[in-house]
Copies of this chain bind each other. A is one copy, B any other.
Amino acid sequence: MNESNPTVFIVDDDASVRKSLERLIKSVGFNAETFTSAEEFLSRKPYGGPSCLILDVCMPGLSGIDLHKKLTREEIPIPIIFITGHGDIPMSVKAIKNGAVDFLPKPFDKKELISAINQAIDRDVHTRKLLIEKEEIQHRLNTLTPREFQVLRWVITGMLNKQIAYELGVTEKTIKVHRGRVMQKMQIDSVAELVRLAQKVGIAPPNK
């Protein structure tokens, strides 16, 4: 069990389900870790590597649905595969619309579950990659002064320095200096890259 290998977390109040899932998952080469309740899962320390969550819908205490909501609210984007013995269509529809990877009624086909797990892990790897990228960008953005950030937002509109200068009520010279520092701090050397970078973290142009 190491953190570079994908881990599948299993939350189900039924011991036999936990056991069989754990065996199945380990047999295909993933780490598996089981929990008897949503609360127990929440108290686990955050996992660093790629992972996903197999979650029973109905459980005493916090239900699987509740846990999903909570994770969404707290922006913990771990991919979720629901399993359930007593689900209905509206419930499954809602779960998928809220971002669950799959929703499998018990008993389910092993191949289907494995397929869902692979999808979930792939999604998590992708999500993590984007997240890390965003954090790196954000870190550099935080080194900008307020004025520099303001200039950045105008620069990505494609306006000329003199136009930006007019908008901010300063001289073109000043914009040049701010702009130069923005590029230096963001560690790039073209407007094209700045535009893409701003897009990735959702920086909008000024309201005018």
Interface on A for B, CB 8 Å cutoff? 87-90, 92-93, 96-97, 102-105, 155-159, 188-196, 199
Contact = CB atoms under 8 A, between A and B. Distances in A.
Given A96-B97, A156-B192, A192-B194, 6 more contacts: A87-B89, A92-B92, A96-B96, A157-B192, A158-B192, A192-B195
A93 to B, nearest CB: 5
A93 B189 CA distance: 46
B92 A190 contact: no
A92 B194 CA distance: 42
A158 B190 contact: yes
A158 B90 contact: no
A122 B99 CA distance: 20
Which of A89, A97, A104, A199 counts the most chain B CB atoms within 10 A? Answer: A89
A194 B105 CA distance: 48
Contacts of A155: 192
Contacts of A192: 155-158, 191-192, 194-195
Contacts of A159: 190
A155 B190 CA distance: 10
A87 B196 CA distance: 44
A158 B156 CA distance: 13
A73 to B, nearest CB: 22
B93 A102 contact: yes
B92 A89 contact: yes
Contact of A89 (B103, B156, B190): B103
Contacts of A191: 158, 190-192, 195
A97 B103 CA distance: 11
Contacts of A89: 87-89, 92, 103, 105
16 contacts: A87-B89, A89-B92, A93-B93, A93-B102, A96-B97, A155-B192, A157-B192, A158-B188, A158-B189, A158-B192, A159-B190, A191-B192, A191-B195, A192-B192, A192-B195, A195-B196
